[in-house]
Amino acid sequence: MADVASNPAPKISARNVTKVYETASGHMTAVDDFTLDVAEGEFLAIVGPSGCGKSTFLRMLAGLEDVSSGQLTIRPGTDPKTPLNSVVFQEYAIFPWKTVIQNVAFGLQMRGVSERERLDVAQGWLDRVGLAKFADHYPHQISGGMKQRVSIVRALANDPEVLLMDEPLGALDAQTRVVLQEELLRIWEETRKTVVYITHSLEEAVLLGDRVVLMSAQPGRILEVYDIDIPRPRSIETMNLPAFALYRGAIWDRLSAEVTRAMEMQQ
């Protein structure tokens, strides 16, 4: 994969992106004038109060939702067969009637990759995340953490230009979440995929992100973008660094004010 130095053009470019929903009570601006570039190989985390438009922005990026105004583009790669994006949602979006390996190979099957090649690629990903011996299990036979690992490697096996993740670890218990955070760090450091990652967890955003975007309460605007200048490779131990606490504290100061504002608006 090309690195930032070899192609300085942004991988994702958002210019004055606005999303207005028509609701029974009139227009509702969910995302307002969002302007941001994401570099190739960057891990961008987005945090903000509930309802501030994080998922709406991600859905627009994924092409699942139209942009009301502004421009939102993902720069294609050199191989036209490579999908522009793959999305990982909080809910395990895997097919219950397919085995683990068939799930991971699904995107490649849709792209017409031969059975042999797609099973090889899927097997490689299962090996990397310790799921090899569950390849022939069905989703109901594995735990929630394993299902979400399957969702993540299914998206990666597809080798998208950008990986879009909407609160992917949100449904997991605290311990499983930590294990998957470490796994995501390791995988990202190996692949350097361009990632947009939505989370309610400030710790997760600071741990994983190169930058953290803080959005305002509705209408969702960019309040602040934080460069997380903490060296990689990172691990759960990174959370013990003084710098980590400083970032978390600074972002929380502003986020907590927005959360309060959002709650007041809802009353």
Ligand X SMILES: Nc1ncnc2c1ncn2[C@@H]1O[C@H](COP(=O)(O)OP(=O)(O)OP(=O)(O)O)[C@@H](O)[C@H]1O
Kindly list the residues in this chain that would bind ligand X in the complex (CB under 6 A): 21, 23, 28, 30, 48, 50-56, 218
Residue 97, CA distances (Å) to 25, 101, 136, 148 in order: 41, 12, 11, 16
Whether the CB-CB separation of 46 and 216 falls below 8 Å is answered with no
Whole-number minimum distance, CB 88 to ligand X, in Å? Answer: 15
The residue (of 100 and 255) whose beta carbon lies closer to ligand X is 255
Locate 240 and state its tokens. 């013990």
Nearer to ligand X, 34 or 226 (CB): 34
Shortest separation between residue 176's beta carbon and ligand X, angstroms: 20
Task: Report the residue number, 119 or 222, with the smaller CB distance to ligand X.
Answer: 222
Residue 193 neighbours by CB under 8 Å, 6+ apart: 1, 41, 156, 160, 162, 163
Peptide bond into 231 cis (omega under 30): no
Q: How far is the CB of 53 from ligand X (least distance, A)?
A: 4
- Of the pair 39, 93, the CB lying nearest ligand X is at 93
For 223, the 3-state DSSP assignment is: strand
Tokens of 13: 């470019």
Residue 164, strand partner residues: 87, 196
Nearer to ligand X among residue 113 and residue 217 (C-beta): 217
Q: Minimum distance from CB of 44 to ligand X (Å)?
A: 15
| Nearest distance from C-beta of residue 135 to ligand X, angstroms | 33
Cα–Cα dist 23/29, whole Å: 10
Which alpha helices (DSSP H) does the chain contain, by range? Answer: 54-61, 100-104, 106-110, 115-128, 144-157, 174-191, 202-208, 242-266
Taking the complex as a whole, the smallest distance from the CB of residue 173 to ligand X amounts, in Å, to: 19
**28 versus 236: smaller Cβ distance to ligand X:** 28
